[in-house]
Structure 1
Amino acid sequence: MVRMATRRAETTEESRRLLVAAAAGLFAEKGYRQTSFVDIAERAGISRGSIPWHFGNKLGLLKAVLDDRLQTVLTGVAPPGDDRSGDPLDQVMDFIRLPATRLFITLLAEAVEVDSPIREHYAQLHSALRQAVQSRIPAGAVPAGTTPEAFTVLLVGAVIGVHAQWRIAPEAVDLEAVQAAIRALALAGPRSG
């Protein structure tokens, strides 16, 4: 009996994982609104009735996808105090290169619409990204004349903008040069007259 329950739980978790992966790929390719349950079920190889059973509705599935991708991104960035943590700007630029981040750019266009069903989830996502970045900024690294919060918004905003440009035209965006430019601007400090 225990063995059957364990196997059922494993199957349920595997179905959930397959649905999240399929939805993430389709949302990145087609957008949230243009992706249907049928599309997701076909890609996952699972009955479309499994989607509401696992997630309640399409918005619940989107939240699971965003949570999954955010965790993928955050585990790719070293936590504060970790030997790998190093420079927060290096980590932020590494964020751009992660395959999981393509989804964030695809959905951004939908999220900025006032009536978008994903707007609130995106606001939470950006909040989590700002918290993650801010927690990794070493003491003394915030330029004079600004606050850690404003500096974090600048870094996250720069990354989002650079990321969008790089995804659209990677041959036109030299990520290393952009990183050097952000570093130069961030470390320049206040300018006089």
Structure 2
Amino acid sequence: MSLREDKKRQMRQHLSDTATRMFLELGFDGVRVAEVARACGVSEKTVFNYFPTKEALLLDRLEGTAKALREALASTANTPIEAALRLLDAELDGFAGDPEGYRRFGERLQAAPSLRAYRNDMMDRFVAVAAEALATRDGADPADPEPQIMAAALLGLWRVQYESLRRHPGEPATVRAQVRRAADVLRNGLEKPG
């Protein structure tokens, strides 16, 4: 990575971290992009050079998920479920250091309709990325029903982890167990033999 790229990465992280801190203190509607820019010593235009929307500024950490999904699901080293569980474990380990902050962030996110909509749009994008990776892995068309339903089901594990983290902050073992239970449903199928 060049010095210029490193500086850009650091600025992006600084902007996102500052916005997140302010968001936690004041709420989504209580923070303007201009205030984040001022707190970081840059112009509002600079913030928008890094992030297209205020929502993207706060949910920046979701951007890395698309790349990680693409790489993990394209590999045949693990089953798709195991690949997803590895990604979820890594994310959970990242949240374990600040469970109270994560809980507060989740509460603030739930209170802001535009953030919920942005998160849902990102989940749709993740499903498309996952379907493409799974199709490539199996030599199928990403628009076929099989990669589509597999991708949607796998991304459901992220929703399970998010909800479990909100309900059980500071209890990573409980969260991990609930995600594993959901993964077992995927492994065993939705219909049990009668």
TM-score class, shorter = 0.5 to 0.7
TM (normalized to structure 2)? 0.59
What CA distance in whole angstroms lies between the structure 2 residues aligned with 1:93 and 1:75? 14
What CA distance in whole angstroms lies between the structure 2 residues aligned with 1:124 and 1:13? 24
What CA distance in whole angstroms lies between the structure 2 residues aligned with 1:89 and 1:10? 29
What CA distance in whole angstroms lies between the structure 2 residues aligned with 1:69 and 1:18? 12
| Structure 1 runs not aligned, ≥5 long | 1-6, 140-145
What CA distance in whole angstroms lies between the structure 2 residues aligned with 1:9 and 1:179? 36
Q: Kindly indicate whether residue 92 of structure 2 is the aligned counterpart of residue 97 of structure 1.
A: yes
Contact kept in structure 2, 1:29 and 1:106, CA below 8 Å: no
Q: Kindly indicate whether residue 63 of structure 2 is the aligned counterpart of residue 71 of structure 1.
A: yes
| Structure 2 runs not aligned, ≥5 long | 96-101, 139-144
Which amino acid in 1 is paired with 2:56?
K
- Greater percentage in helix: 2
Which residue of structure 2 lines up, in the alignment, with residue 4 of structure 1?
none
What CA distance in whole angstroms lies between the structure 2 residues aligned with 1:191 and 1:152? 21
Give aligned pairs, total.
171
Q: Over the residues paired in the alignment, what is the CA RMSD in angstroms?
A: 4.2
What CA distance in whole angstroms lies between the structure 1 residues aligned with 2:118 and 2:37? 23
* Residue 88 of structure 1, aligned match among 83, 92, 106: 83
CA deviations 1:78-118 (Å, max 9, x no partner) are: 34444776523313522541648x5984564145x4xx3x4
Contact kept in structure 2, 1:130 and 1:156, CA below 8 Å: yes
Which amino acid in 2 is paired with 1:26?
M
Contact kept in structure 1, 2:28 and 2:108, CA below 8 Å: yes
TM alignment of 1:148-187, pairs within 5 A: 148-169=147-168, 170-171=170-171, 174-187=174-187
Percent of aligned pairs sharing the same letter: 16
TM alignment of 1:52-67, pairs within 5 A: 52-55=45-48, 60-66=53-59
C-alpha displacement of 1:186? 1.1
The structure with the largest alpha-carbon Rg is 1
Which residue of structure 2 lines up, in the alignment, with residue 124 of structure 1?
121
TM alignment of 1:130-141, pairs within 5 A: 130-137=127-134, 139=138
Partner SS, residue 132 of structure 1:
helix
Partner SS, residue 34 of structure 1:
coil
